[in-house]
Amino acid sequence: MEDLKLLVVGSVAIDSVQTPFGFREESIGGSALYFSAAASLFSPVSILAVVGEDFPMDEVEFLSARGADLSGLKTVQGRTFRWKGQYGYDLNEAKTLETHLNVFEEFAPELTERQRSAELLFLANIDPELQLKVLDQVDSPALVAADTMNFWIEGKRKALQRVVERVDLLVLNEGEARMLTEEVNLVKAAQKIMEWGPSGVVIKRGEYGVIYFAAGYVFSAPAYPLEELFDPTGAGDSFAGGMMGALAASGDLTPEGIKRAIVYGSAVASFNVEDFSFTRLASIEYGDIKSRFGDFVRMTAFEKDI
């Protein structure tokens, strides 16, 4: 059997989302699916997650067609995790209206032998205790990246700290970086995080783009300018999926490789927000991403001197 390039462990949900531009009820979502929809544009990805008997499996067939391994998407008795949220005109932050964990409440990730040997691992936004259980099961990935959120920073800081100490790359937004480190300045926040263990930190800044920090490196990528933006749900997960998928495809895990992968991730995320749920990510191909990557190159190119 072919070696596993990329594994994601996270949530799969059924979302109901209200934005100033529309409403979508009972659509598939969750960190693991958004990640996989993006990553599968570059590389095969294996998903480890749980759903209930009510989950519409036919709606993720596009992932299988792209070579994603859905054998780890386990169906158990009960209802799928549900989330209902609302965005105002500040699309960087959602207001959670309802959360029903359902089968996700009892999720206990158990990796197969093949999943244990994954070359790249992404720990999506789930309970840090679960992230630690996954880290205890993997062999020796070439790169481990993790995401988190303010809920875990507030409620499970000690467990999250142990996760941070064991990963190579931490991905979080600017508010979470400040909350985790208690540093207002993002440069100081990133430096503190790297002192704890990671060799790199990726800070998402919504409409202002992304900043990447590593030893001797600071890289800033803008957000792609869009005329229409409908739904930011999953933008961070699709960014991470695009980034990790690009790394799996290139095999270049140096800071230069990560910088290039960040731009690919930004390109994918820009498609994701153009419609609700997976409508855009399911319809695009690698050529679309490559074209938008070229736009990023042109947007940021300039002469070295005057």
pLDDT > 70 fraction of the chain, expressed in percent and rounded = 98
pLDDT at residue number 165? 97
Collapsing DSSP to helix, strand or coil, 171 comes out as strand
Predicted confidence at residue 24, as pLDDT, reads 87
Per residue in 231-265, pLDDT (tens digit) is 888 899 999 999 999 999 999 999 999 999 999 99
- pLDDT greater than 90 at residue 157: yes
What sign does the CA torsion over 166, 48, 245, 177 have? negative
pLDDT of residue 242: 97
Residue 56 has pLDDT above 90, yes or no: yes
pLDDT tier for residue 189 given thresholds of 50, 70 and 90 = very high
**Beta strand 200-204 with 169-173: parallel, antiparallel or unpaired?**
parallel
pLDDT in tens, 59-109: 999 999 999 999 999 999 999 999 998 988 767 677 889 999 999 999 999
- Look over the chain and give the mean of its residue pLDDT values, rounded to a whole number: 93
> 210-214 and 217-221: which strand pairing?
antiparallel
Q: How long, in residues, is the chain? A: 306
Mean pLDDT confidence for 180-197? 96
Amino acid present at 224: Y
- Per DSSP bridges, beta strands 169-173 and 143-147 are parallel
pLDDT category of residue 277 using cuts at 50, 70 and 90: confident
Residue 216 has pLDDT above 70, yes or no: yes
Edge-to-edge, what's the strand order for the sheet holding 22-29?
Answer: 22-29, 13-19, 82-87, 94-100
Q: Say which amino acid occupies 85.
A: G
- pLDDT tops 80 at residue 3: no
Per-residue pLDDT at 13: 94
- Residue 234 to residue 276: CA distance in whole angstroms: 10
- Pick 233 or 203 by higher pLDDT: 203
pLDDT at 100: 93
CATH homologous superfamily of domain 6-299? Ribokinase (3.40.1190.20)
Q: Is pLDDT larger for residue 234 or for residue 143?
A: 143
The CB density around residue 231, as the number of other CB atoms within 10 Å, is 26
pLDDT at 43: 95
Determine the pLDDT at residue 1.
55
* Tokens of residue 230, six digits: 């409908």
∠ CA 239-292-22, nearest 5°, is 60
Higher-confidence residue of 116 and 228: namely 116
User: Rg of the Cα trace of the chain?
Assistant: 18
| 195 and 187 Cβ atoms separated by less than 8 Å | no
128 in Cβ contact with 152 (< 8 Å): yes
In whole angstroms, give the CA distance from residue 16 to residue 13: 10
Query: DSSP secondary structure string, 188-245?
Result: HHHHHHHHHS-SEEEEE-GGG-EEEEETTEEEEEPPPP-S-----TTHHHHHHHHHHH
User: Would you state the structure tokens that stand for residue 246, as one six-digit string?
Assistant: 């690009």
